[in-house]
């Protein structure tokens, strides 16, 4: 990918993360003391279980090395604004969802470079191995995630009315930007779209469904309320595909690594829609009871 395209992609992610920051308050980070058990289970699923499941999927399915690396990049990423929206529409615990997204976004700044480096070394042939500069990667991820999120939070803190007015337009713009990023990637790789979908479609769908199921069941196992369990499930299985694509294209300069995250970003809208339907149905049942 040329330098201009990489700058546009990084800028697009910055807009998305700024939009997320406009929806956050500093109180969101205090919720770890309000829902300690739910937060720790949610983060455990995102930071430990998800990469392990991703590695299992990458090993079990007959994937090309580039697709396997893409799966691991995706599994290393936190949730994103989409997971918060799905949790809200599904009548889950939106506050918990936002808390998990914000906390995991900060923590994964450290974990992403190590997980991605492991994937590059494990799945690529010796002659193809690319190694990330850990410190440089942490700094780059910090710049494209933490700085715009923090700016958004500061704007909300000092200009709450302005942030509330801007939240919806920025959220819509974020969705459009994400769609354009995925469309642009597929246009670039249009000749290989069907083979790529065959290569990674089932694997990414498995990653999505299995992690959501594990998230939900682990929450119920620890006797967490169903509303919060639904949010943990969504946060465990709906990842920030745009960030994964940015890491693949901007940091690793390889659009083939971005195919699995792009396919995933399409499929998660279908699974997310199913979760919203089930969540709404369960909510109606509770109201009737």
CA 211, CA 128: separation in Å to the nearest integer? 30
CA 161, CA 146: separation in Å to the nearest integer? 23
pLDDT of the residue at 206: 92
Question: What is the pLDDT of the chain when averaged over all its residues?
Answer: 78
> CB within 8 A of 255, min separation 6: which ones?
1, 185, 188, 189, 248, 249
**Closest C-alpha among 257, 243, 211 to residue 16:** 243
pLDDT of the residue at 246: 80
Torsion angle defined by CA atoms of residues 100, 103, 107 and 108, in that order, rounded to the nearest 10 degrees: 50
Residue ranges of the domains in the chain?
Answer: 3-280
State the Cα angle at 212 between 105 and 132, rounded to 5°: 40
| Helix, strand or coil, per DSSP, at residue 61 | coil
pLDDT of the residue at 127: 46
264 vs 176, higher pLDDT? 264
The two structure tokens encoding residue 76: 């290393």
**Closest C-alpha among 260, 259, 215 to residue 237:** 215
Largest CA distance in the chain: 62
139 vs 99, higher pLDDT? 99
Could you write out the DSSP letters of every residue in 209-233? Answer: HHHHHHHHHHHHHTT--HHHHHHHH
Residue with tokens 């249009």: 190
Q: pLDDT-based confidence at 98, cuts 50/70/90?
A: confident
pLDDT over 70 (residue 184): no
Percentage of the chain beyond pLDDT 90 is: 14
**What average pLDDT does the segment 173-199 reach?**
68
The CATH label, of 3.90.79.10, 3.90.1150.10, 3.40.50.300, 1.20.1530.20, for the domain at 3-280 is 1.20.1530.20
> CB within 8 A of 188, min separation 6: which ones?
1, 255
Instruction: Report CA 209 to chain centroid distance, whole Å.
Output: 14
pLDDT of the residue at 212: 92
pLDDT over 90 (residue 63): no
Alpha helices (H) along the chain: 3-22, 31-34, 36-44, 50-60, 65-76, 81-89, 94-123, 134-141, 147-158, 160-188, 193-221, 226-237, 241-246, 259-288
**Closest C-alpha among 152, 72, 147, 145 to residue 109:** 145
**What average pLDDT does the segment 200-210 reach?**
90
Cβ pair 97, 38 in contact under 8 A? no
CA 8, CA 14: separation in Å to the nearest integer? 10
pLDDT over 80 (residue 47): yes
pLDDT over 50 (residue 95): yes
- Residue 66's alpha-carbon distances to 43, 83, 145, in angstroms, are 27, 26, 25
CA 44, CA 47: separation in Å to the nearest integer? 5
CA 191, CA 200: separation in Å to the nearest integer? 16
21 vs 260, higher pLDDT? 260
Q: What are 108-162's pLDDT values in tens digits?
A: 888 888 888 888 888 886 545 556 566 766 776 777 777 877 888 888 888 878 8
Number of residues that make up the chain: 289
Q: What are 214-258's pLDDT values in tens digits?
A: 999 999 999 888 888 888 998 888 888 778 888 887 778 777 888
Cβ pair 251, 120 in contact under 8 A? no
């Amino acid at each position: 990918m040329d330098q201009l395209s990489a700058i546009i992609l990084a800028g697009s992610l910055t807009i998305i993360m700024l939009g997320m920051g406009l929806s956050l308050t500093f109180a969101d980070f205090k919720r770890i003391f309000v829902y300690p058990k739910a937060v720790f289970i949610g983060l455990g699923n995102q930071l430990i279980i998800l990469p392990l499941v991703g590695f299992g999927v990458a090993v079990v399915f007959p994937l090309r090395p580039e697709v396997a690396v893409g799966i691991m990049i995706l599994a290393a990423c936190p949730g994103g604004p989409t997971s918060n929206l799905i949790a809200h529409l599904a009548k889950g615990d939106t506050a918990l969802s936002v808390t998990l997204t914000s906390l995991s976004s900060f923590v994964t700044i450290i974990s992403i470079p190590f997980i991605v480096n492991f994937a590059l070394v494990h799945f690529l042939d010796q002659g193809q191995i690319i190694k990330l500069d850990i410190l440089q990667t942490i700094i780059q991820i910090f710049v494209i995630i933490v700085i715009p999120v923090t700016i958004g939070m500061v704007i909300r803190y000092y200009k709450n009315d302005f942030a509330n007015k801007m939240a919806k337009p920025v959220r819509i713009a974020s969705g459009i930007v994400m769609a354009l990023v995925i469309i642009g990637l597929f246009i670039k790789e249009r000749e290989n779209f069907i083979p790529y979908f065959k290569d990674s479609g089932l694997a990414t769908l498995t990653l999505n469904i299995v992690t959501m199921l594990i998230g939900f069941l682990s929450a119920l196992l620890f006797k967490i309320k169903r509303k919060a369990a639904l949010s943990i499930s969504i946060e465990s299985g709906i990842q920030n595909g745009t960030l994964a694509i940015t890491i693949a294209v901007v940091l690793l300069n390889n659009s083939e690594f971005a195919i699995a995250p792009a396919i995933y970003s399409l499929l998660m809208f279908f699974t997310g829609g199913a979760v919203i339907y089930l969540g709404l149905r369960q909510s109606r049942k509770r109201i009737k009871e």
